[in-house]
Structure 1
C-alpha cells in the first residue's frame, strides 16, 4: 500500500484540539475575541436528522456533501450514527484525506463506504486520489466525467495504480450550465462509447447539481425544480444507456444522484404538506415511477446550517403544516453565525451606521436576492434592553441592522427603516450576524466555536471546538 507522501493533513496540520478547548471551553461568546464563527449544535442536529428522516420516508438514498463545513464532527451528523453506509461528496482531495482515518474505521465496522470527488477529473489530482483508493479499497472513491478525455486519462494509468475498476459517474447538465453534459448532445454519445470501451473505468451512475434552484421563491417552485431535475437526469441517463447498451438483467439499478439544498430539502414538502399543494402527489408519483428502474438518491451540502440565501429560496414554509410547531425554514433553522465586534459608530450619517472588524474575509461576498446587504444582525444579547429594536427580515419587517457594505477587514452596519425605536450600538459590543452564504463564511476561520441551545450551559457558552480542514 502506497504511503501518503503528499497529503493535506501533513502539509497543513490542524491546530491542537487540546489547546483550543483549553482556551475556549466554558467561555461566554461575549468574552471571546471577534471575529469568530459559531455553530449551534442543536440546530445542526435537527437539520441533519430532518434530512435523513425525509430520505428514509421517501425510500431514497442520501449523500452528504462536506464542502460547507469541512469537519469530521459535522460529517458524522450528516451520515447518522445508525447508518450502515457512508456516502459522501467532497469538493477537494484534502477533504477526503482528512476523512481517511474515520472512513477506515467505518470500513472496519462493516459499513459500505463511497466518496465522490466532486469535480470533473483533473490529471494532477489522480495520484492522491489513487492513493486514497488503495487505502480504502475497490469501489470506494468515485470520479466524475463529462468528456471522453476523462476516460482516456484513466486508461493511461499504469497497472496497479488503482484497485479494481474505477467507478465513474456521468455528470449530467440539467440546466445549471456549470459542469456536465446535456442529454442529446454528441459529447454524451462519445462519452458513452469511451466508457464502454475502457479497460479501467466502469459506469457508476449519473449525477446532477441543480444550482439554479437558488432562484426559487416558493415551495411550489422548489418542488417544480426538483421534478425538472429528476426528469432531466433520467433523460440523460437513458440517452447514455441507449448509446452504451443497457445493463444486463442481473445488473443493479443505475444510480441517479440529484440535488442542491433547495431541491433536496424541498422533498420535505412531500411529507409535511408543506406548501406543495395538489402537485405533491404528482411529484411523489414521478419519484415512484423513476425509482422502479433507477436507484434514486438526494444530495446536498449547506442544509445542516442553512443561511440567508436558503431562506430567500422559500423552498419550504417556515413551519410544517402536518406537524405544527416543527420548524422547516426560518431564522430558527440557521445554525451558523459570525461573531463580530463593533469598533466605531456613526450616528450623524444619513442612515445610522457602525463599523465592525469583519469584512469579506470573515463574511464572504456573495449577495442574497432578498435584500441588498451582506449579513443580518440577529437580536442576540439584546434581551432585557427594552427589546431588540427590530431584527431585519427580508420577508417581514424590513427594519433593523444589516451589513450594508464590506471590504477586506471592514464591515459597515447600516440601520434600515425608521429611526424611532432604533437599537443603538456601542463601541466594543459583540453581535452575531447571519451570513448570506454559510459556505463562504467558514473559510476565513481555522475552527468553529460550538454552542448548544439545548444544553444546560445555555446558548451562549462554548461547549466544543471543531477544527476546519484546509487545503485542496
Structure 2
C-alpha cells in the first residue's frame, strides 16, 4: 500500500482491492436457496427490494433530467449493487455517470464499466470524498483499466493537488480530472465561495501538469429539512445559486475561464456544475408541472445553463424511505398525470422482513410487541415526521391501513430499539387494532435506506408488477468494504 510521509509518496501498486478483502457470498447458491419462494418463507431479518418500484423511480429521474436538458450522475452508496446501478443510468443510455462514496464501490463497478467502455459508452466515475492519499493507488489501478479521464476525484484543499502531482503518469494515465467541492452552507465538506482557500486551489490546479479541472460539485444535505414541494424547490434554488457563486469565484481566481454574462458573446469553455441530494434532485420533477412556481425555477435553471453545464446527482431515490417521505419534496401524485405517483408509500421500494418474537398487550398504556430486529437490522436514524424507527406496512395485504405521520397516526411502529431487539408500539386509537401473533412475519418501511441496507449482505428481490408480488425472483448482492 502507499504511504504519505513528510510530503513524499511511495506509489507502490497493490493487488489488494475490496472484492478480494471482502469476498461476497455465492450469488448462485443464494438464488438456489431463495428464488421461487415466498417472502414469508425467508429468514428474518431480511432486506426486500421491489424491482418494479425501483424501475419506476429510476425512470422518472432520468426522464426529468432529459426534459430539463441537464445531465444526471447516479450515486450508488445507498444500494451498493450492480443491478440498481444499471437501472439508475438506463440500459439504453450512452452516458454512464456515477459518484461513489467508497473505493470499494468503484472497484465493484469495474466489470460492468469495462463492458460499457467496450460498447462505446461515455463512462465517468467520481470518488465522492476529497481525495484520500491512501486511496490513490487503488483509484489509479481502476483508471488504468478504464482508460484516461474516466475516474475523477474531489478536492477542497491545495494539498490534494500536491499529492496528485506526485502520481506517475505510468500509474495513472493522462491528466486526472478533479472536481472542486463547494460548501453552500451545510459545512459537511467543501469550500465556501468567499473563502480564500478557493483561490489557493485554483492556483494549484492551474500550475499542475497532472490534473485538470472537470467541474464543481456540492451536496445539500440540509434539503432533508424540506416539508413541501415549494420548500424543496427553495432549497434547490439556494443550492443552484450557491454553486454558481462558488464556480464563478473559483473561475475568476484561476484566470483561465470567462463566464458568459447576458451581454457576453462568447464563452471560452463551459464548466460542469453538479448539485443534488435526493430531495433537491427529485424536486426538479416539479419543474415539469405547468405552474407559475415551476416556470420561475425553470427560468433560473435556464439562465445558469447559459454559462454552465448543469448536472444533477442523487442516491436514495431508487428505493426511497421514511425520511424522504418526510421531506415532501414532491406531491403524492403528478398534477399533469394524476395516475402517476411521485412520492407516496407505493413509491417506497425497500422493506425489511421481521418476525414477532413476543406480545405484551398489558405492558403499558399502549399495546406492545417484540421483534427480533434492532439497530443492527434497522439502523438508528431518526425521522423528523414521527417518533419511531420504522413503520409496519399493511403486508401481506397489498394496501390498507397503516401508521401515517401525515394522516391517522394510527398503527404499529417500531417505537423503541436496542441492538437485536425492536419494540413495536401501537399508536392512536385501539379501535380496530391490528392483532399480531407470535411467529408472525411483518414488513417494515425503514427510516433511512442507506443506513439500513448496510446491515445486509444481499437483497431478496420481488416485483409488485407480477401476478405474484410476494414471489422472490432474484437475489442482488451488496458490495462490502471501503
TM-score calculated relative to the size of structure 2? 0.94
Counterpart position of 1:332: 346
Matched, 1:166 2:179: no
CA deviation string 1:240-261 (max 9, x = no partner)? 0000014377854100000000
CA deviation string 1:394-416 (max 9, x = no partner)? 01110000000111111100000
Q: Residue 61 of structure 1: which of 48, 71, 80 is its match?
A: 71
CA deviation string 1:343-398 (max 9, x = no partner)? 00100022100011111111111000000100000000257xxx96x410001110
Q: Residue 318 of structure 2: which of 301, 304, 308 is its match?
A: 304
Secondary structure at 1:280's aligned position in 2?
Answer: helix
- Aligned ranges 1:171-320 → 2 under 5 Å: 171-247=181-257, 252-273=269-290, 277-320=291-334
Secondary structure at 1:152's aligned position in 2?
Answer: helix
* CA-based RMSD: 1.4
Residues of 1 paired with 2:239 and 2:195: CA distance?
17
Secondary structure at 1:398's aligned position in 2?
Answer: coil
Q: Residue 449 of structure 1: which of 442, 455, 460 is its match?
A: 460
Residues 272 and 323, structure 1, Cα contact 8 Å, conserved in 2: no
Residues of 2 paired with 1:284 and 1:209: CA distance?
20
Residues 323 and 384, structure 2, Cα contact 8 Å, conserved in 1: yes
> CA 1:3 to 1:102, structure 2 compared with 1: closer, same or farther past 3 Å?
farther
Residues 143 and 168, structure 1, Cα contact 8 Å, conserved in 2: yes
Residues of 1 paired with 2:378 and 2:21: CA distance?
26
Q: Residue 376 of structure 1: which of 385, 388, 391 is its match?
A: 391
Residues of 2 paired with 1:73 and 1:182: CA distance?
36
Secondary structure at 2:246's aligned position in 1?
Answer: helix
Matched, 1:41 2:64: no
Per-residue deviation, 1:51? 0.2
Residues of 1 paired with 2:19 and 2:100: CA distance?
15
Secondary structure at 2:138's aligned position in 1?
Answer: helix
Matched, 1:31 2:41: yes
Per-residue deviation, 1:159? 4.1
Per-residue deviation, 1:4? 6.2
Residues of 2 paired with 1:107 and 1:311: CA distance?
37
CA deviation string 1:287-308 (max 9, x = no partner)? 1011011000100000000000
Counterpart position of 2:433: 422
Counterpart position of 1:395: 406
Residues of 1 paired with 2:476 and 2:459: CA distance?
5
Mean alpha-carbon deviation: is it higher for 425-434 or for 149-158?
A: 149-158
Residues 210 and 229, structure 1, Cα contact 8 Å, conserved in 2: yes
Q: Which runs of 5+ in 1 are unaligned?
A: none
Residues 267 and 307, structure 2, Cα contact 8 Å, conserved in 1: no
Q: Residue 472 of structure 2: which of 459, 462, 465 is its match?
A: 462
CA deviation string 1:98-151 (max 9, x = no partner)? 110110110000001100000011111111011111111110000000011111
Per-residue deviation, 1:27? 0.5
Secondary structure at 1:342's aligned position in 2?
Answer: strand
Counterpart position of 2:163: 153
Secondary structure at 1:44's aligned position in 2?
Answer: helix
Residues 181 and 188, structure 1, Cα contact 8 Å, conserved in 2: yes
CA deviation string 1:393-448 (max 9, x = no partner)? 00111000000011111110000011121111100000000000000111111000
Residues 36 and 472, structure 2, Cα contact 8 Å, conserved in 1: yes
Residues of 1 paired with 2:329 and 2:35: CA distance?
36
Per-residue deviation, 1:327? 0.0
Residues of 2 paired with 1:101 and 1:258: CA distance?
27
Counterpart position of 1:321: 335
Number of aligned residues: 463
Secondary structure at 1:444's aligned position in 2?
Answer: coil
Q: Which runs of 5+ in 2 are unaligned?
A: 1-11, 259-265
Residues of 2 paired with 1:310 and 1:436: CA distance?
8
Q: Residue 361 of structure 1: which of 362, 368, 376 is its match?
A: 376
TM-score calculated relative to the size of structure 1? 0.96
Per-residue deviation, 1:184? 1.1
Residues of 2 paired with 1:268 and 1:427: CA distance?
43
